[in-house]
Amino acid sequence: MLDVLREKAIALADEITKLEEYVEFLECEKALKEDGVAQQLLMDFQQKQQEFVAKQMSGEFDQDLMNELSEIQSKLSARESVVNFIEAYNRLLTTLAEVLDLISERINVNIAEVYRR
């Protein structure tokens, strides 16, 4: 990579870290990590999800496990720290997508499409 391009990429990254969306994302991420109840629910959800997928792969459907996953998901959706994190994350992704769209438009290459391949 050319030094000039590297410098400009670093400058862009530095500007992104100053965005309100980025700062808010970090704050919400910190709050989520400090929410012990949410962290336990997330761990439980991941564990149950892995169990569910493993059973599905062996051809088994476990309705009780599905119900447990739904219940945990409902509890997660009720946690303010989880909701705030997801909303902040989505706002940041929208902003970053706009940046990628501008770059894509300028260089006439759909970066998102290339990335998906």
Separation of alpha carbons 94 and 89, rounded Å: 9
Which residue, 79, 77, 50, 78, is CA-closest to 65?
Answer: 50
Separation of alpha carbons 76 and 63, rounded Å: 20
pLDDT at res. 16: 97
pLDDT at res. 36: 98
For 47-71, give one letter per residue: b (16+ CB within 10 A) or e. Answer: ebeeebeeeeeeeeeeeebeebbee
Q: What is the pLDDT of residues 90-113, one digit of tens each?
A: 999 999 999 999 999 999 988 877
Token pair belonging to 107: 């260089």
Q: What is the pLDDT of residues 45-64, one digit of tens each?
A: 999 999 999 999 999 999 99
Token pair belonging to 60: 């088994």
pTM: 0.83
Average pLDDT, the chain: 94
- For residue 57, the SS3 value is helix
